[in-house]
Structure 1
Amino acid sequence: MCQLDGTKCSFLFCLGMCIAVFSVIYLRTKMPTEPRPQEPLSCRPFSSACKAFLPGMGRAVEWNRHDCEVESLILNSDLQCPALIRDLHFITTPLSQEEEDFPLAYIITIHKELELFVRLLRAIYTPQNVYCIHVDAKAPVEYKKAVQRIVSCFKNTFLSSRSETVTYAGFSRLQADLNCMADLSKSKIGWRKVVNLCGQDFPLMSNLELVRYMQSKEWRDRNMTPGVKQPVHMRYRTQLQYREIKGSHVAPSGKNMKKGPPPHNLQVYFGTAYYALTRAFVDYVLKSPIAFDLLQWSRDTFSPDEHYWVTLNHVKGAPGSQIDGGWAGNIRAIKWRDQEGKAHDGCKGHYVRDICIYGLEDLPWIIDKKSMFANKFESNTFPEALDCLEQWHRNKVLNQATVPIEPSWLLATQSKSSRKHFNSSAGA
């Protein structure tokens, strides 16, 4: 009897232990777990050349960067949106009533450089604006998923409903913008003007400065499409026929295959592919027979985005048209190779397609230009240039804010002994 009782006791004890073990395993698989904190990466320090742009860069003062995990944060699937937004240092509150009353729309076309895109979006992001992101159809699947992940964390940011396989100098580049325009025209956000960007742009003006510039007497109800009547040496672009080799390049359709004249007897203009347009003008672009006919005529031209917007903006009666605008409008700070020694002192980085990829020593020229945006940057070749410019821009943005600053909005902090200098010097 005693032996039987001992056997029963042992059985019950083993059974209880098994139940306990399986209960723990069950609960651990069912209960959500917090991602393990990663070891902080050693952030690349600011170059000493930044001392001209950042406050308090003396020997006894250091800026400590907190932003060197952009891609790893986005690719961390365990990190939920609130934590992702916080750790990526996005500004989550309108910084002034003035900005809240004048929401902007953005079109951003991208195909590579995930980190650059996130840093650009972070720099221009405010919750009252709206952002349409066009991801090139030929971009890698992993890249598209990563962009979708960050975009899905914001109610006012979305992917274009149609994605083009964009070809340099091709009609597809123009179509990508038009796809986003069609989407933005349906937005419930009452945006006032739309600006287009590429993934290698970066702002020089704060959102407040952009709002004030676009509401200035010169630009309040007008479009910004810098350009002039098409020069003789550029006429080949619209007088000969071209065909787009999808995702590759644009080539002549044949030897000296000429186009007919533009529709509606329009004068063709040549200018920048970048703009700031009123909402009424966007409606005109999407609905006007003149705009439609010019678009169809432009399909077999070379780099149509460099004549389409500026030509339409010179049509008499188009909303916000700029009949005699010329190159007015500080849209972009760009160093073109053929303007070296004239408009600028040379590229301190390197040229790609005759456009300067900025190096650190280009920053004084960029900042002095007082343009809306600068183009172009690369994260691999000259990362210190964007590090420095980004911190300069964020300092200015926060210094202009009329609301309390959240700690997560800081991309870097000064050592304790020097933080007192921030508020008085942030806009330097």
Structure 2
Amino acid sequence: MCQLERTKCSFLLCLGMGIIMCSLIYLRIRKPTEQKYLHSPSCRPFSPECRPFLSGSENKGLWYRLDCQVKSYILNGYLKCSRLKKDLHFINRPLSREEEDYPLAFIVTVHKDLELFIRMLRAIYMPHNVYCIHVDAKAPREYQVTIHKLVSCFQNIFLSSRSETVTYAGFSRLQADLNCMKDLANSKTAWRKVINLCGQDFPVKSNLELVQYLQSKQWRDKNMTPGVKQPMAMKYRTQFQYKEIKGSHVALKSPRLKKGPPPHNLQIYFGTAYYALTRAFVDFVLKNPIALDLLEWSKDTFSPDEHYWVTLNHIKEAPGSWIDGGWDGDIRAIKWWDQEGQKHDGCKGHYVRGICIYGLEDLRWIINRNSMFANKFESDTYPEALDCLEQWHRNKVLSKATVPEDPSWLLATQDTLNGGDSGFYNSSA
């Protein structure tokens, strides 16, 4: 009987000590995590104007950013590829069978704002897609080296085999896309459509939404190149011969010389430089004599990327051509200065070359439009706008996933226990 009592006491003692030890371990692990969320000295707080996009009426939890060192992480000389995807919150597996069965190709041309580029890349990244990055040859050496270091950690991201010194409105901008197209044409990834981006874009649609949009009845077998017959106001771009001052600007040749008519009696169209193209059309662009002749003719025009793609897409023989497409295809949400008061309520950031650099108050317009992408952003000028849109986009991406969520995919965490407003805008962060 005494032996039984001693055994019982020993068991209760061990059980009590075990509970105490587990509690101490739990508190030790939990405390730093909470500190990281609430008191990280490097994280900007989400702006008050961001809250409606992150927390609906049914969800009063507060959001705390987890990722605040993107640029410094990449600049770290001891970068380990084995940890990069996890540390930078890249999604490392397909989120649905529908997306996996429809891989996309992306062409991204960049020359500045490393922070924005990395955050945009991880927003559009999926392991079954393929990405060609064209880095402007005039970009700073450190920038080029850093991009190369980042890209080398991914099997499905690569640098363009040839780098151009890109000039605004010059042929070099068109050539940069073509360089990537040649590389993508040789890719082993069975990509279905290619989308081109610049380094100041950010996605609005999730990858799943892009796939569904590009596979919709209207666009399933079609190229998306919004544009119309060249208006009279744009005739100057192709009527006269221009020369590209490398890395600087485009100017009329002197003496002023008129160009001959376009080859093959082509009707020139005017439109956006951005597109979504079928793989068969890309093959047409790279090999067809009509496409090659138009390319040669376009070398001394002004901003040829705004007529080249859309003109080719109006050729009946071109795969996936869209003869009567007009401005159909919601590729970009852009606030142009001359459309203020007509198509938008004004730029809440500021204009550069007549295009809005988005501020935080522009987000509602961007989200309501639900274009494929929005342009333009600057990570240093209006960082809160990028923070908010990025988190809103990641929330949407993960909400539609058909696979278990990996904690490393989270860019922010939600505190559903402490719902006070002060945490959401934590001024100590």
SS in 2 for 1:291: helix
SS in 1 for 2:54: coil
**Is 1:357 aligned with 2:352?**
no
Describe the superposition over 1:307-337 as per-residue Cα deviations: whole angstroms up to 9, x where unpaired. 0000000011100001011000010000000
**What CA distance in whole angstroms lies between the structure 1 residues aligned with 2:240 and 2:377?**
33
Please name the residue that 1:81 is paired with. 81
**Is 1:287 aligned with 2:284?**
no
**What CA distance in whole angstroms lies between the structure 1 residues aligned with 2:106 and 2:59?**
40
Describe the superposition over 1:276-334 as per-residue Cα deviations: whole angstroms up to 9, x where unpaired. 00000000000000000000000000000000000000011100001011000010000
SS in 2 for 1:187: coil
SS in 2 for 1:144: helix
SS in 1 for 2:413: strand
TM-score, with normalisation over the residues of structure 1? Answer: 0.87
Q: Deviation at 1:342?
A: 0.6
SS in 2 for 1:325: coil
**What CA distance in whole angstroms lies between the structure 1 residues aligned with 2:222 and 2:149?**
36
The answer as to whether partners of 1:204 and 1:374 remain within 8 angstroms in 2 is yes
SS in 2 for 1:78: coil
Report the aligned-residue RMSD.
1.6
Q: Deviation at 1:61?
A: 3.9
Describe the superposition over 1:220-266 as per-residue Cα deviations: whole angstroms up to 9, x where unpaired. 00000000000000000000110000000000002531100000000
Q: Deviation at 1:60?
A: 7.1
SS in 1 for 2:108: strand
SS in 2 for 1:256: coil
SS in 2 for 1:361: helix
TM-score, with normalisation over the residues of structure 2? Answer: 0.87
The answer as to whether partners of 1:51 and 1:58 remain within 8 angstroms in 2 is no
**What CA distance in whole angstroms lies between the structure 2 residues aligned with 1:124 and 1:56?**
24
Please name the residue that 1:7 is paired with. none
Q: Deviation at 1:418?
A: 7.0
The answer as to whether partners of 1:398 and 1:405 remain within 8 angstroms in 2 is yes
For structure 2, which runs of at least 5 residues remain unmatched after alignment?
1-35, 420-429
Equivalent runs, 1:302-317 vs 2, <5 Å:
302-317=302-317
**What CA distance in whole angstroms lies between the structure 1 residues aligned with 2:80 and 2:59?**
39
- Residues matched between the structures, number: 382
The answer as to whether partners of 2:106 and 2:196 remain within 8 angstroms in 1 is yes
Q: Deviation at 1:40?
A: 5.5
SS in 1 for 2:378: coil
Percent identity between matched residues is 73
The answer as to whether partners of 1:41 and 1:68 remain within 8 angstroms in 2 is no
Please name the residue that 1:25 is paired with. none
**What CA distance in whole angstroms lies between the structure 2 residues aligned with 1:358 and 1:378?**
8
Please name the residue that 1:209 is paired with. 209
**What CA distance in whole angstroms lies between the structure 2 residues aligned with 1:336 and 1:314?**
26
Please name the residue that 2:72 is paired with. 72
Q: Deviation at 1:42?
A: 2.6
Please name the residue that 2:156 is paired with. 156
Change (3 A) 1:398 1:376: same
**What CA distance in whole angstroms lies between the structure 1 residues aligned with 2:163 and 2:151?**
15
Please name the residue that 2:343 is paired with. 343
Describe the superposition over 1:342-384 as per-residue Cα deviations: whole angstroms up to 9, x where unpaired. 1101000000000000000001111111100000000111110
SS in 2 for 1:53: helix
**What CA distance in whole angstroms lies between the structure 2 residues aligned with 1:416 and 1:330?**
36
**What CA distance in whole angstroms lies between the structure 1 residues aligned with 2:56 and 2:356?**
30
Change (3 A) 1:418 1:130: farther
| Aligned amino acid, residue 51 of structure 2 | K
Please name the residue that 1:270 is paired with. 270
| Aligned amino acid, residue 394 of structure 1 | R
Change (3 A) 1:57 1:66: farther
Describe the superposition over 1:52-99 as per-residue Cα deviations: whole angstroms up to 9, x where unpaired. 211159997421101110011111122311212111110000000000
The answer as to whether partners of 1:41 and 1:69 remain within 8 angstroms in 2 is no
